[in-house]
Every structure is written in C-alpha cells, then in structure tokens.
Chain A
Amino acid sequence: QKEVEQNSGPLSVPEGAIASLNCTYSDRGSQSFFWYRQYSGKSPELIMFIYSNGDKEDGRFTAQLNKASQYVSLLIRDSQPSDSATYLCAVSQPGTASKLTFGTGTRLQVTL
C-alpha cells in the first residue's frame, strides 16, 4: 500500500510566524510532489510542486524535498490568518504519473 502521511493537526501558529508542514511517503520511486491548500467547503488549490531534491521558493512559500529520507515539507513564512486551511500533500506514483496519492492533510490555524 503506497502511503502518504501527514500530521492531521491542528497546527497552531501565531500571525507572522513560520508554519512548517511535513509529509512522508512510502514509495521510494515517487517523482513528483505537490502541496494543495483547501479551505473548508472549497476545492484544493495548488500551492507548490517540486520534483528535485532541495528547496523551491515561491513568495512566502518554500517546498523542501529530501528523496533519501522520503519527506517533503512546506514552509509558510510570515503566516497570515488567511493561511488557515487544510494543506494536502500529494505524491505521484511512479509509472502512473496521473495518479496522485494524497495525504490526509494538516489543518493549519494562524492565530492573531
């Protein structure tokens, strides 16, 4: 069973702080990794994708990938109350790149 694991949270961080969300995956052959943000009652919205080991930055968001340790993380700098949402980690399965395996999501709460 190919798995993607996330801490369900809630992860509570004060406004302005750095939020760190983590995701581990079981299939060592996985090649593409995605972070989606989902507000309650809404659909998932793509935040970041990463294919190579290392860091990838986009504005306040940084995705980090470590294939040797099989984890991917998302850092949100200067967290805002509007960042409060569930963050879904998704991993593509090797050989069937159209199939994404989603983690159960981490609920982030940014407090004033």
Chain B
Amino acid sequence: DTEVTQTPKHLVMGMTNKKSLKCEQHMGHRAMYWYKQKAKKPPELMFVYSYEKLSINESVPSRFSPECPNSSLLNLHLHALQPEDSALYLCASSLNFIETQYFGPGTRLLVL
C-alpha cells in the first residue's frame, strides 16, 4: 500500500485568511515533502522533512509554514497568501530521504 492522503481536496481562501493543509501516511515513511504545482508546470519542491525534522526549505516565503507533528503527519499552514499562490499543493512521502517518493492526491488551492 502506497497511500498518502491529503485534506482538504479543494480550498478557497482570502488573502487575510489562515488555513492549513494536512497530509497523512501510514506506511512508516520517514521523509515527507511539500510541493507546489502550477498548471502545465512540473512540481516544485517547497519543504522536506526527514525523521520529523525540517531538512530542506527551498527559500519558501514565510507565509507558508510547515509542521511535522509526528512521523505520519505533515501540515502546511497558510497565512496572508497572494493570488499567485493559487496552485495544486502536493504532499509526498518516501521510506527515507533517498527512496522513491509517492504523491498524495493534492489540495487545489485558490486564493482570492
């Protein structure tokens, strides 16, 4: 089973809102990732957590705040986003940071 779940599936938020995206896996994977994907573009890496510690931040603006409460759960907290942040946000996980990454279904975010 290689299932990564993400909630919500869709999210519409205003520029002053605070919201959170949630990602969960129960495969015992110890690396988890957030990607952002715009239409007709490849996924862009945002953050990597390895063994619940942030190991990579790809210079993402502070209005995106990741959190890894435990080895199964990854959150992305959103605050004061801009319309250009509208995109598909993908979570992925891998057994460890050198193994194959499996993607969740994504959250489609629209910022108004």
Contacts and interface: CB of A to CB of B under 8 A. Distances in A.
Contact of A99 (B2, B48, B88, B104): B48
A69 interface: no
Interface in B59-91: 88, 90
A49 B101 CA distance: 10
Contacts of B50: 98
A17 interface: no
Interface of A: 32, 34, 36, 42-46, 49, 88, 92, 96-100, 102-105
Given A88-B42, A98-B31, A43 B100 contact: no
A105 B42 CA distance: 7
B93 to A, nearest CB: 11
B42 A99 contact: no
Contacts of B43: 44, 88, 102
Contacts, number: 48
A3 B82 CA distance: 28
B94 A103 contact: no
A97 B90 contact: no
A98 B103 contact: no
A10 B88 CA distance: 22
A49 B48 CA distance: 20
Contact of A44 (B31, B41, B55, B90): B90
Contact of B42 (A42, A45, A103): A103
Contacts of B105: 42-43
Contacts of A103: 42
B106 A34 contact: no
Nearest to A92: B98
A100 B90 contact: no
Nearest to A103: B42
Contacts of B88: 43
Contacts of B42: 88, 102-105
A99 B102 CA distance: 13
12 contacts: A34-B101, A42-B106, A43-B104, A43-B105, A44-B103, A46-B102, A46-B103, A49-B100, A98-B33, A98-B55, A103-B42, A104-B42
